[in-house]
Amino acid sequence: MATERLSLRIDASLKKSLEQEAKREDRSASYLAVKAIEAMLRNRVEKRAAIRAALAEAGKGAFISQEAMDSWVASWDSDAELPPPEPDVRIR
């Protein structure tokens, strides 16, 4: 894979922490920085996908009331644990 140079400015204490971590991992600071950027970008893609899925689900107009959720959560770790609640609020 082709690589390109990227120059950026970071706080001196952040640079020192990155270099210390790189030494502990027996990697270069550049390697760790690239991995951190990759993880951040991957997380943002996943977050946007989750938001799109949540919006699509919300668009169906079926929701679970706070009361039903509270009852379900309150039953956790009890002898009478309830099943996950079904949607009980409909918006058209």
- Asked whether residue 71 carries a pLDDT value surpassing 80, the answer given is yes
The predicted-structure confidence for 11-37, as pLDDT tens digits, reads as follows: 999 999 999 999 999 999 999 999 999
Q: Which residue has the tokens 């390697």?
A: 31
In the chain, what are the domain boundaries? 12-59, 61-92
pLDDT at residue 78, rounded to an integer: 96
Looking at every residue in the chain, the average pLDDT score rounds to 96
Query: 35 with 18: CB under 8 angstroms?
Result: no
As a three-state string, the secondary structure of the chain is CCCCCCCCCCCHHHHHHHHHHHHHHCCCHHHHHHHHHHHHHHHHHHHHHHHHHHHHHHCCCEECCHHHHHHHHHHCCCCCCCCCCCCCEECC
